[in-house]
Amino acid sequence: GLELGALGGVRVGGLVQRAPCLGLVSAQQSPGAHSVQSGLGPKVPEAAKQEGRQGPGRRSWCSRRRKAPATTAIMDFQACERAGVEDTGSPRPLPTAPDRLLLVKNIQLEDGKMIPAAHFFGRADSSALELTEEELGTAEAVRGAWKRILPSVLEVDESTDFFKSGAASVDVVRLVEEVKELCEGLELENEDVYMATTFGDFIQLLVRRLRGDDKETEGPIDYVEKAVNKLTLRMPHQLFIGGAFVDAEGGKTYETVNPTDGSVLCQVSLAQVSDVDKAVAAAKDAFENGLWGKISARDRGRLLYRLAELMEQHQEELATIEALDAGAVYTLALKTHVGMSVQTFRYFAGWCDKIQGSTIPINQARPNRNLTMTRREPIGVCGIIIPWNYPLMMLSWKTAACLAAGNTVVIKPAQVTPLTALKFAELTLKAGIPKGVVNVLPGSGSVVGQRLSDHPDVRKIGFTGSTEVGKHIMRSCALSNVKKVSLELGGKSPLLIFADCDLGKAVQMGMSSVFFNKGENCIAAGRLFVEDSIHDQFVRRVVEEVGKMKIGNPLDRDTSHGPQNHLAHLQKLLEYCQRGVEEGATLVCGGRQVPRPGFFFEPTVFTDVQDHMFIAREESFGPVMIISRFADGDVDAVLTRANATEFGLASGVFTKDINKALYISDKLEAGTVFINTYNKTDVAAPFGGFKQSGFGKDLGEAALNEYLRVKTVTFEY
């Protein structure tokens, strides 16, 4: 039978196939407007309207989206040579209508089988496998299994369709298990049966698996290899589009740098606008036509669980790459950068089959009755733009929820930290995530991020980064196609420390609130307000603890403070501290670059910081503690000062008075309030900001809403 799939673009100049059949192809002006071509030019039957119409022995399909009226006609494929068909890889003008393009999307055979995907030319050019005597014996044994499962079928031949012969989902499991017994433990997936439904196709798939030359295995990957941390790292460095690692348009690359010593780690492909278009097209095709949208939500969760397991198996490699590419302290990267990423995918894998709508009582249209229900559906292609401070974890926070909801994604990692995102892409292949579902494009924000924000086929942007860039993305999303958008932006999180607190714990947590991950932490306490009576004691103990911090190579197990992420950020921190000194704040310690190779900056403490100063208002995003006093007992005054900012990402309070803690938590204008702790985030707890720190949530059930749309369906009966 003919198998003609989405060819990309073909010119149909005559007859197409050796075997006689009735085919259905799609011609379109715009995505979703389908028509059928007969002979050399379109012929429109009267029955061709905006809905499917079936005639004797043939069918016509039209527009799915109703954007433009679609015309339909029938193409007859007679016994002939493959003359007049040219695989061009792009749409081509119709011979009789040069202003129209013919894009072949699907083909339906006389037996009713519809073939998707671009398999036609590849399969036609390679004949079916010729089976050995041993393989013929295996095929007969499997034929016997089909007969046992399909007792109503008198004879199982090459064209016998498993499901049209009465098989149900439980029979899929039985067939997989029968094959395992007959073929010495060969492990098939349920999806294999769904994708090879006829006996002939199933045997071909089975023999390829037995020979180990299945064409669906992952292709070659060009790794950069490095022996470091008692490991041999194998790091992909190309773009990841449609399930393959490929060079950028024009072969463009850039250097990614190790912040520990300033050396070049490797050359990374630099995505261009055309690469973004290819990645979005791959994601769109995977969403609309691929296996991802056809498998059950539970199977989708199973794939995400498998991905989490692979990430855990590769945790040492991933943490080492984070240390090399982002300057993350290795031990912290194991626990947080990688550890929380694994937890995030496990958490959202469990949500896949629990995304539910509701039934709603409405007024009845008497004498009839009505039923209204809602469905929570995936949005489509999502663009995710992530920052450089937690490269893998920020990717995971957004991507896990996005995939759990059933979307496909194009990920733009930060240009300075692309390597864990590309390693993650490799792991999605190993996990069996279908091709095109995940795409990764290292590159600049002005090119890749801008094109994702502008692209008409991207339906959602998730962004973590600066408020300035977030506003620009929001504007682009509005002007392009009113994309859904969620933003996690800048912060200047206040931490209030009262005299009635556990001072030892307040010092410990105050240190962590500022210096955790070298201060490159979105919820870092940007300003500490310390009650007057304990201010001097608190500062003295903090300075003592700063002196104990070990600054050094992030791969050393005793290092507590590694290099800043990149050179430009180090320079900004130097300028930030210089401005604080110029405005009259007291520099107690730090404020300088460490005299050694790399981008190391001393942990810094400022006191006597007044509300009008630049360092009191603006985020450093580095290891800089800003301390201000407040009068004993003046709760409302310090609350006013803490809220006098346009940011509202996080906040904290240390006190033993539960009434005071609850009162302050009510009044603080921030998306997260920590009480007698700090930095305590969890995959189950929603995370996001107020005011100019953005809107929308990562983590928790609330994050799913960012990647779903609600559809209302009303019946009358």
DSSP string, 227-291: EETTEEEEEE-SEEETTEEEPPGGG-EEEEE-TTT--EEEEEE---HHHHHHHHHHHHHHHHTSG
H-run or E-run covering 77: strand 75-77
Task: Assess contact for 172 and 193: CB atoms under 8 A.
Answer: yes
Residues 6+ apart with CB under 8 A from 356: 376
* 134: annotated active-site residue: no
Distance CA 613, CA 616 (A): 5
Name the phi and psi angles at 716, rounded to 5: -125, 135
H-run or E-run covering 530: strand 525-531
Longest dimension (CA), the chain: 95
The two structure tokens encoding residue 478:
């509005």
Q: 3-state SS of the chain: helix, strand, coil percent to 5?
A: 35, 20, 40
Distance CA 254, CA 427 (A): 23
Catalytic residue among 317, 322, 426, 488: 488
Pairing of strands 10-12, 85-87: antiparallel
H-run or E-run covering 372: strand 370-378
Separation in Å, CA 128 to CA 42, 155, 249, 600: 33, 22, 35, 61
Residues 6+ apart with CB under 8 A from 303: 295, 431, 432, 433
Task: Assess contact for 232 and 320: CB atoms under 8 A.
Answer: no
Straight-line distance from the first to the last Cα atom of the chain, in angstroms, rounded to the nearest whole number:
43
Distance CA 396, CA 400 (A): 5
298 exposed, middle or buried (CB, 10 Å; 0-12, 13-18, 19+)?
exposed
Q: Which residues are catalytic?
A: 488
